[in-house]
Amino acid sequence: MNIQLIVQLLVLVGEVKTEAELTAELESLLKAYGFEYYSVLVQPRPNQDPARVALASRWPAGWPEIYAGRKYVLVDPAIRMLSIGQRSIRWRDAIFALRNDPHKQRMQRMMQEGIRYGLQDGYIFPVYGRIGLLGYMTVGGRPVDLSPAEMALFDAAAKKVFWRFMELRGQAEELETVANVDTQLTRREMEVISLLADGLTSNEIARSLDISSHTVDWYINGLQEKLRAKNRQHVVASAFRLGLVI
């Protein structure tokens, strides 16, 4: 393959004036590489239909409905790997990496059904920010072997295209400013929440910080109020989302 095509896209992305032009440039590159289907989207919330947050996409007729209706987003191995490895990955490598996952059978069912729609293999390229995963670009269709250099360039292109879409929609600044956290935590609260995120119990946190478990619970209750969290798990999830825990 000619990596100059990817480099050319990286240059042109900053020059396009409309979403239609950006979509056309991206689809031209994907067609040249043999990728028939793709999606560039903002990270969907749990149980949210990915099609509703797509910035641009093209999938086989009927597949988006199947994918959403059977909630495959919850078990999609490529998407699940983004939260584990935080890097670009090939679809078939993702299913192999999760071969011992308790949802393996449902993952395989999703992949097999995708193959019937022409989705034999593909890649997913994440876009991360200070608060975690912001979105991603996934491409697929017939199997295409990308070299490490092409993978790196496609990864750069995914980020460039994603942010250009957000700029054209006037949403880039809004997405970036989400990282500004108004919640102020004390040093002790930061210690407690970090240990809580590591999976420690109140008693274990108490021993680690040389305080009573009652005091630990008092700090955790305070954290729930500050983060408007319903329980300990929600505290940890909110902390990661706000960038309070790395």
Phi, psi of 99 (to 5 degrees): -60, -20
Cβ-count burial of 215 within 10 angstroms (0-12 exposed, 13-18 middle, 19+ buried)?
A: middle
What is residue 238's predicted lDDT score, i.e. its pLDDT? 81
CA dist 220 and 194 (Å) reads 11
What is residue 233's predicted lDDT score, i.e. its pLDDT? 87
Structural domains of the chain, ranges and CATH numbers in brackets:
4-177 (3.30.450.80), 187-241 (1.10.10.10)
What is residue 76's predicted lDDT score, i.e. its pLDDT? 93
Mean pLDDT of successive 10-residue segments in the chain (246 residues)? 89 94 96 96 73 90 93 89 84 92 92 96 90 87 95 96 94 64 78 89 93 94 90 85 67
What is residue 105's predicted lDDT score, i.e. its pLDDT? 92
pTM score of the predicted model: 0.75
Region of residue 86 (left: phi > 0; alpha: psi -120 to 50; beta: else): left
